[in-house]
Amino acid sequence: MRQGKFIVVEGIEGAGKSSAIAVVEEALRAKQIDYIKTREPGGTDLAEKLRDLVKQPSDEKLTKECELFLMYASRSQLLANKILPALDQGIWVIGDRHDLSSRAYQGGGRQFDDQLIDTIAKITMGDFKPDLTLYLDIDPEIGLQRAAARGALDRIEQEKIDFFHRVRDKYVELAKRDEHIVHIDASQTMTQVHADIRQALATHLPTLGSL
């Protein structure tokens, strides 16, 4: 049984993942828990190269099938070379996205069949799952406005709004199915969002109780 815990923060662009991750970091530091942070796609030297292929605009159109496999190839590298070794050493991991992103973006947005994604996930990750996922839910129009305000949008962020509505719908659907995914209303004030995150951490991970 792995000693560390894996906490993932999910949501569409502009949902507030960075500030949510900071709240999780604060909670772990308060309990003097060693941790590392990862991001997906990316997180290792090779996985970061795959991230560039997925995220950066190119003269050659990236097919949705290639995108799907690149996401899982990157995740496989990150899991084997960083996440699992850390957890085995008792180090906690905070993930900026994980498998739920592929199920929302490629499954919902690109409309790949759930069973196909299940098969690819099984091959690349086995039965591995996060201990807790915090899903930050926000209207795509609001989220994309926030993302655009930060600067130039990447290849996926430039998709049409219908794509992001499908992504959000899939996130919500999947969150309802899994008790380890906590749905947080990211349209609330930042103070309330952060309070909800602390409550979720304390409820689902007893080590972090009484935050």
Question: What pLDDT, in 10s, does the model give residues 142-179?
Answer: 999 998 888 778 899 999 999 999 999 999 999 999 99
Confidence of residue 89 (pLDDT cuts 50, 70, 90): very high
β-strand pairing of 92-96 with 6-10: parallel
Residue 126 lies in a domain: yes
Q: How many domains does the chain have?
A: 1
* CATH for 182: 3.40.50.300
Residue 124 lies in a domain: yes
Residue 1 lies in a domain: no
Average pLDDT, the chain: 95
Strand, helix or coil at 53? helix
Residue 40 lies in a domain: yes
| Distance, CA of 154 to CA of 169 (rounded, Å) | 22
Residue 108 lies in a domain: yes
Nearest to 80 by CA among 29, 118, 43, 115: 43
The percent of residues above 90 in pLDDT, for the chain, comes to: 90
Q: Which residues pair with 92 in a beta bridge?
A: 35
Residue 190 lies in a domain: yes
Number of Cα atoms under 13 Å in the Cβ half of residue 102: 29
Give the pLDDT mean for 102-111.
Answer: 98
Token pair, residue 124, equals 């690349």
Report yes or no: 101 and 74 within 8 Å, Cβ to Cβ.
no
Task: Kindly provide the b/e burial profile for residues 64-78, where b requires at least 16 CB atoms within 10 angstroms of the residue's own CB.
Answer: eeebbebbbbbbbbb
Q: Is the pLDDT of residue 211 over 80?
A: no
Determine the structural domain holding residue 134 and report its residue range: 6-208
What is the per-residue pLDDT across 142-152, written as a single tens digit (0 to 9) for each? 999 998 888 77
Q: Is the pLDDT of residue 79 over 90?
A: yes
Residue 203 lies in a domain: yes
